[in-house]
Amino acid sequence: MTLVAAVDIGASGGRVLTARVGPDRLDLTEAHRFPNTPLALPDGLHWDLGHLYSEVVEGLRAVAAAGDVPRSVAIDSWAVDYGLIDPAGRLLGLPYHYRDVRTSPAVIAAVHAASDPDELYRANGLQFLPFTTLYQLAAEAGAGVGAGKPGPRTSAALAGAARLLLVPDLFGYWLTGAQVAELTNASTTGLLDVRDQTWSAALARLAGIEPGLLAPLVTPGTVIGGLRPGIAEQTGLPTSTAVTAVGSHDTASAVVGVPAEGENWAYISCGTWSLVGVELDAPVLTTASRRAGFTNEAGVDGRIRYLHNVMGLWMLQECLRQWAPRADQRPALLADLLDQAGALASGGPVIDPDDPQFLPPGDMPTRVAAAARASGQREPATPAETVRCVLDSLAAAYARTIDTAEMLSGRRVDVVHIVGGGSRNTLLCQLTADALGRPVLAGPAEATAIGNILVQARAHGALSGPGGRGRPGDVSLEALRALVRRTTRPARYLPAPAAAPALAGPRGD
C-alpha cells in the first residue's frame, strides 16, 4: 500500500484528501475542506490565492497531524488563470478570475485581427472562449498584442514579470521552489502547439508576451521536487515528501478517474462547468470542429480530451445564491427544489446554457426567465420551474454535444459517464439519459481526486504492470480505470421511453 495526498481546488471550494492505494484498493479520506470565494476589488474580480494557499498548508498540516506521512502530494485546479512572478520569485498582485470582464470584445477582435481564427484553431486546437489565457494576456498586454513586447498600455505586473505560472503550478512553486508548467493545464492556455505539445513562440507573441515567460513543460507523473524546509516545518511533513505533477487541470484528472471500459464512451465532468466529450489519440482540427466549438486539450498519457465546455452547474449555483444569500441554507433548499422540479411535467422551457449572458455572476433566475421569453417560450414562474428549466437545458446541451462529438470525431458513443459533483444530482442524470437516449453511468463524484491520486500512485510504484514497476509505460490508463471500476459502484440510469425527442431538440448542429 502507498499513501498519497491530493489537493483538489475547484472554482467554488477545495479539499485535501489522502488515499491508500494498492492493486485492488483505493481508500480515500478527506483531511480538510475549504471554500473558494473570489474577491471583487475596484480593478476587477480576483482569486484570493493567499487564502487558498494557507488552506492548502492547513490541509497538509491536518494530514501530518493524523499521523500520516504521504509519499507524494499533487495539486489540481481549474484552468486558464495564472500568476505573474518577478525576478526575485515574488507574486505580482492577485491573479484575475476568468469571469472578470477585462477580456472585452475589443481584445478578442484584436487577437483575431492578428491571426485568422481557422489558423489559430489549427495551431492551438481550442474552442473559442473569451477567458482563455491567450485572450487574458492580450488584455493585460494592451498595445503589445501580437508584438510579444510590452506596449504603452501593458500592465505593470506583466511588464515586471519574469515567469507566468498557472494556478496549480504556482502552488507547486510555493511548496517546492520549482517553476514548471504541467502539460494538461498548459494545453488550456491557447499558447501550446496542439500537434507537438510544446509551447509555441508564435502564439506567445500573439498574446503579447515573450516566450521566455513560460515555464518548462512537465508531464503527469514527473516529480517536481521535495517540500521546502519552511513548508516542511509548517506542515509537519518531511522535506522528502515529493510534490508530483498529475493532470493538474482538474478535468484531465477527472477523465483519468472515469470508470470506463473499451473505447465507445463519452464523459461529462460535471461541476461548476460541464466538460463534455470523448477521449482520442489525435486532435480534430477541422473547420467544422472549430465552428462547433470543440476543443482539443492534452490528457494524461498523450491522450486528447476532445470536448466542448457547457456552462454547467454554475447556473444552478448562481440561482441558489440569489434565493438563499446564506451558504448554509443552500443544501436544504436545493434538495427541496430538486424534489419539486422532478415532479413537474416534461415539455417546459429549454434555453441555451452556452449563451454568454450566463457567464458573469449575478441574478441568474432573471436571466433564465429572459432567455425563455426571448425564445418565445413560457417563463419559469417559480424557483422549482427555474431549476427544471436549467436542468432540462443542460441535458439537452449534453445530448447535442455528444451527438456532435460522435459526428466530428468518428468515435461511436454507447454509454455516457457523468463524474464529479453533478453525478450526485439524480434528476440531472435521469434527464441526461432521457435526452441522450442512451444509458448513463453516474459516479464517482470524486473522480478528479481519484485521477490525481492514481497518477501519483503509479508514478511512485504502488501499481505494478508487466514490468513489475509503477512507471507510466508499465501501467496503462486503462489499468487505472479498471481499478476505479473495481473500487467504485456507479449508478445506472436508463432513458425513459419516448423521452429523448421532448428534451434533446436539434442534434448534430
Question: Would you say 122 and 192 are in contact if contact means Cβ atoms under 8 Å apart?
Answer: no
Our answer to whether residue 250 is catalytic in this structure is: yes
Task: Please say whether the dihedral angle defined by the alpha carbons of residues 463, 167, 281 and 396, taken in this order, is positive or negative.
Answer: positive
User: Is 65 in a helix, a strand, or coil?
Assistant: helix
Tell me if the bond preceding 444 is cis, omega within 30° of 0: yes
Kindly report the three-state secondary structure assignment for every residue of 187-206.
Answer: CCCCCECCCCCCECHHHHHH
- 479 Cβ contact list (under 8 Å, min separation 6): 463, 465
Options 81, 100, 169, 250, the catalytic residue: 250
Cα distance between residue 442 and residue 429, in whole Å: 7
Question: Would you say 132 and 188 are in contact if contact means Cβ atoms under 8 Å apart?
Answer: yes
Q: Which value, in Å, is the radius of gyration of the alpha carbons in the chain?
A: 22
Sole residue written with cell 473559442: 128
Cα distance between residue 424 and residue 201, in whole Å: 43
- Nearest alpha carbon to residue 38 among 21, 19, 51: 51
Using left for φ > 0, alpha for ψ between -120 and 50, and beta otherwise, residue 106 falls in: alpha
Phi/psi at 280 (nearest 5 deg)? -125, 170
Strands 265-270 and 415-419: parallel
Which amino acid makes up residue 366? Answer: T
DSSP-assigned states of every residue in 248-281? -BHHHHHHHT----SS-EEEEEESSSEEEEEEES
- 427 Cβ contact list (under 8 Å, min separation 6): 338, 341, 342, 391
Residue 398 C-alpha from the chain's centroid:
16
- Cβ-defined contacts of 115-121 (< 8 Å, 24+): 115/146, 115/206, 117/290, 118/287, 118/290, 120/190, 120/206, 121/285, 121/287, 121/289, 121/290
Looking at the DSSP bridge assignments, the partners of residue 226 are 242
**Which active-site residues does the annotation give?**
250
